[in-house]
Chain A
Amino acid sequence: MYVIKEKSFLASNVARFVIEAPFIAPKRQPGNFIILRVNPKGERIPITLVDSNPDDGTITIIVQGIGKTTKELLTKNVGDTLPDIVGPLGNPTPILEKKTVVCIGGGVGTAELLPITKALFENGCKIFSIIGGRTKELVILEEEMKQYSEQLFITTDDGSYGRKGIVTDPLKEILSSGTKIDAVYAIGPLPMMKAVADVTRETGIKTYVSLNTIMVDGTGMCGGCRVTVGGQLKFACVDGPEFDGHQVDFDELMMRNKSYADKERLALEQFEHKDGACKLENVR
């Protein structure tokens, strides 16, 4: 059993959990993820590891309540346990040394970007960071990102914080400013990563994207996470989750991720209105 040791909200629908997972904590590297279940009838969902503490055997994740499972997870509190966590899974992110890079996070994707940014910083990289969200509340981890960044740009779709616009706007400015950029790391919703890859494609700048796919086991067994990368069949869980953004068939992946849209809606409705009461009222 995996005990929740800490919980705090970064936004009304985004929480940070510190969870006891003594075997996983010492093995985590930036880019690794876990698969967890929230109840004994639960589905297995992949969540990227944000941090870990090998000394006290804990791992840190940041979760946005989107579907049934993530919303149920947000109802869990300190002292509650999760039945299953397995990991660390996936390949660690390639961390460059003493290079100039742009780190781009969209929404809760910034949580996955943070450990990579930190590792790049510790490896002597000069980092330009861009974090964005639909609205002010969804711009997370600003202070944490700032401490590793030469410069930090913030965008919101509605202009409620930072600049109005999307993350590719500052990216284009950085690229046209004459600064030599060696690589771009982008993590966020698929349309955002696709847009970033489209911007950097012509420049030939290596662009790492971290793919969030449908997944069951996370160890290469189901093939549900398959993506087309450079015309080749790849499994995001064991071949990724990072891939060369210029090679990924984003359109196919976006369609694949909608496979269970109707079922996901049904599960969520059932969860939110079980016993006639809205379950999410006691989230906070």
Chain B
Amino acid sequence: MNALKPSERMKIPRNHAFEQSPEERIHNFKEVSLGFDETLALTEASRCLECKNAVCIEGCPVNVDIKSFIQLVTEKKYVEAVQKIRESNYLPAICGRVCPQEEQCEKVCTLGKKHEPVAIGKLERFVADYEMKAGAFITPVIEEKRKEKVAVVGSGPSGLTCAAELAKKGYQVTIFEALHEVGGVLRYGIPEFRLPREILDLEVERIRGLGVSIYTNFVVGRTATVDELFNDWGFSAVFLGTGAGTPHFMGIPGENLNGVYSANEFLTRVNLMKAYKFPDYDTPIRLGKEVAVIGGGNTAMDGVRTARRLGAEKAYLIYRRSRSEMPARLEEIHHAEEEGIEFILLTNPVRIIGNEKKNVVAIECQRMELGEPDASGRRRPVPIPNSEFVLNVQTVIEAVGQSPNPIIQATTPGLETTKKGTVIADETQLTKRKGVFAGGDLTRGGATVILAMRDGKTAASAIHNYLQNLHS
């Protein structure tokens, strides 16, 4: 138990994790945040008010028992603490790094009403890393082996979570991944400086440790259809977690010039293919001295900070609204600023300009102002007449949204989609097709890792119910 009185706890200021300095980190791809050490973790945990009504738990999309795990930290029972988290969330080392806690558990933290909230995310990361360093992870015992086979399509956060939950229940789970490495957006999208690959590799190994088999290089819809998974492969249920991988383009002139990338391509080349190690690795990337990234979300931040690390002298982030409308996490915006990213806000590109060799040399933009709120509730950006200006850049990276890849929808009869191309699923993640469940960005169209994980978890219990009823 925490020996401090609530009034004493409130006096302790929120602790900040160690970080690589901006000057240092813009020259490497190592993790920016170095996390808490034990002293900081203990001090931070002692700030928790241990509220009777622990609203943080409600604030967490997968309802991690935050209060209990923080109490265990105060007792220095770090391994027990991470085990407590893992009861609700099989990927704590990942969530402790990439979850937008400021929008979830920390947003509702009682301490945050008058002071700063407890740094729940950093504590989660601390106990997960502690367990890793101590080699203290124990694979959960699977009590009852079941004979039913479940296919999980896509190895991103929703698929990994769904697979882990079903494997723990004893099902025979197979993950099918289109790329040659496992992890989906955690692998190709999120840069190593936010999520080191050793962490991802370890979490994937732990999922294999539950008996889950993983086929890479397997495109469901091409290598085998969903129907074939049922009929030829003998699966009793299918979970689709194929994400939102198809990049949008703005539709402005000059987008096919050399030097224009979708953020997906740019990040995939660097993260998955390790183009930053070219020519030791084979995949090249082209980057000018001046780079513009279009967009205001986490993908845009990842893109512009990656460009900076690859050696861009000027790395601009062009966003059509103002800072307060940016969908990116605050921490990422803050880190980007520290790294010398120049934000060009209330600005929208209208044309990309090329030379005779069709290489990008500049981007023409216009200034915007905010008008009335639109359907998203954010104020709509409106162009200011005659405000055009030209910015010299040699690389343009568009991070203006993604939609689901249509391959599975096109090859799976009975799977209904919305106009945006997202797959329709009910509150149990069941699609319109019997035995087929879906979640993550495939049904949401572009959300967060933790919401994808929640869908995977919800689907796993729905699949369990479905398979139970199938035999009764």
Within 8 A of B (CB), among A75-107: 83-89
Question: Which residues of the partner chain B approach A259 to less than 8 Å between Cβ atoms?
Answer: 258-259, 286
- Closest Cβ neighbor of A34 among chain B residues: B217
Contact of A264 with B by CB under 8 A: yes
Contact of A228 with B by CB under 8 A: yes
Contact of A252 with B by CB under 8 A: yes
Interface string of B392-435 (1 = CB under 8 A from A): 00000000000001110000000000000000000000000000
Interface string of B142-178 (1 = CB under 8 A from A): 0000000000000000000000000000000000001
CB B268 to nearest CB in A, in angstroms, measures 6
Contact of B20 with A by CB under 8 A: no
Contact of A174 with B by CB under 8 A: no
Contact of B322 with A by CB under 8 A: no
Question: Which residues of the partner chain A approach B327 to less than 8 Å between Cβ atoms?
Answer: none
Q: How many residues of B contact A (CB 8 A)?
A: 42
CB A48 to nearest CB in B, in angstroms, measures 15
Contact of A44 with B by CB under 8 A: yes
**A39 CA / B261 CA spacing, docked (Å):** 25
**A263 CA / B282 CA spacing, docked (Å):** 10
Question: Which residues of the partner chain A approach B280 to less than 8 Å between Cβ atoms?
Answer: 41
The answer to whether B223 touches A222, judged by C-beta atoms less than 8 angstroms apart, is: no
Contact of A277 with B by CB under 8 A: no
Contact of A256 with B by CB under 8 A: yes
**A206 CA / B31 CA spacing, docked (Å):** 54
Within 8 A of B (CB), among A209-260: 216-217, 219-224, 226-228, 233, 238, 252, 255-256, 258-260
Question: Which residues of the partner chain B approach A219 to less than 8 Å between Cβ atoms?
Answer: 178, 219, 222, 245, 405, 407
**A118 CA / B280 CA spacing, docked (Å):** 41
The answer to whether A41 touches B247, judged by C-beta atoms less than 8 angstroms apart, is: no
Question: Which residues of the partner chain B approach A278 to less than 8 Å between Cβ atoms?
Answer: none
Given A69-B282, A223-B262, A267-B284, also A84-B223 (CB < 8 A): no
Given A27-B222, A86-B223, A217-B268, also A37-B180 (CB < 8 A): yes
Question: Which residues of the partner chain A approach B180 to less than 8 Å between Cβ atoms?
Answer: 37, 44, 83-84, 86
Among B178, B224, B277, which residue has its beta carbon within 8 angstroms of that of A86? B178
Given A24-B223, A87-B219, also A222-B284 (CB < 8 A): no
Among A23, A222, A255, which residue has its beta carbon within 8 angstroms of that of B268? A222
Contact of B249 with A by CB under 8 A: yes
Question: Which residues of the partner chain B approach A12 to less than 8 Å between Cβ atoms?
Answer: none
Contact of A66 with B by CB under 8 A: no
Question: Which residues of the partner chain B approach A83 to less than 8 Å between Cβ atoms?
Answer: 180
- Closest Cβ neighbor of B269 among chain A residues: A216
Contact of A43 with B by CB under 8 A: yes
CB B183 to nearest CB in A, in angstroms, measures 14
CB A61 to nearest CB in B, in angstroms, measures 15
Within 8 A of B (CB), among A100-139: none
Among B178, B222, B256, which residue has its beta carbon within 8 angstroms of that of A252? B256
The answer to whether A220 touches B223, judged by C-beta atoms less than 8 angstroms apart, is: no
The answer to whether B179 touches A238, judged by C-beta atoms less than 8 angstroms apart, is: no
Question: Which residues of the partner chain B approach A204 to less than 8 Å between Cβ atoms?
Answer: none
The answer to whether A221 touches B247, judged by C-beta atoms less than 8 angstroms apart, is: yes
Among B281, B284, B357, B358, which residue has its beta carbon within 8 angstroms of that of A41? B281
Question: Which residues of the partner chain B approach A42 to less than 8 Å between Cβ atoms?
Answer: 281-282
Given A37-B180, A223-B249, A258-B258, also A86-B217 (CB < 8 A): yes
Contact of B21 with A by CB under 8 A: no
Q: How many residues of A contact B (CB 8 A)?
A: 42
**A69 CA / B261 CA spacing, docked (Å):** 23
- Closest Cβ neighbor of B356 among chain A residues: A255
- Closest Cβ neighbor of A41 among chain B residues: B281
- Closest Cβ neighbor of B228 among chain A residues: A27
**A39 CA / B283 CA spacing, docked (Å):** 12
Given A86-B218, A220-B406, also A252-B358 (CB < 8 A): yes
The answer to whether B222 touches A41, judged by C-beta atoms less than 8 angstroms apart, is: no
Given A252-B256, A259-B286, also A222-B222 (CB < 8 A): no
- Closest Cβ neighbor of A85 among chain B residues: B217
What is A's interface to B at a CB cutoff of 8 Å? 23-24, 27, 37, 39, 41-44, 68-69, 83-89, 216-217, 219-224, 226-228, 233, 238, 252, 255-256, 258-260, 263-264, 266-267, 270
Known contacts A86-B223, A217-B179, A222-B268, then 12 further A-B pairs from the complex at CB < 8 Å, ordered by chain A residue: A23-B224, A27-B224, A41-B274, A43-B273, A68-B282, A84-B217, A88-B222, A220-B246, A222-B265, A228-B256, A238-B406, A255-B258
What is B's interface to A at a CB cutoff of 8 Å? 178-180, 188, 216-219, 222-224, 245-247, 249, 251, 255-256, 258-259, 261-262, 264-265, 268-269, 273-274, 277-284, 286, 357-358, 405-407
- Can you show 30 pairs from A to B with CB atoms below 8 A apart? A23-B224, A24-B223, A27-B224, A42-B282, A68-B282, A84-B216, A86-B179, A88-B223, A216-B268, A216-B269, A216-B273, A217-B178, A217-B268, A219-B222, A219-B405, A220-B245, A220-B406, A221-B246, A221-B405, A222-B247, A224-B265, A227-B256, A233-B249, A233-B255, A252-B358, A255-B358, A256-B256, A260-B286, A263-B286, A264-B284
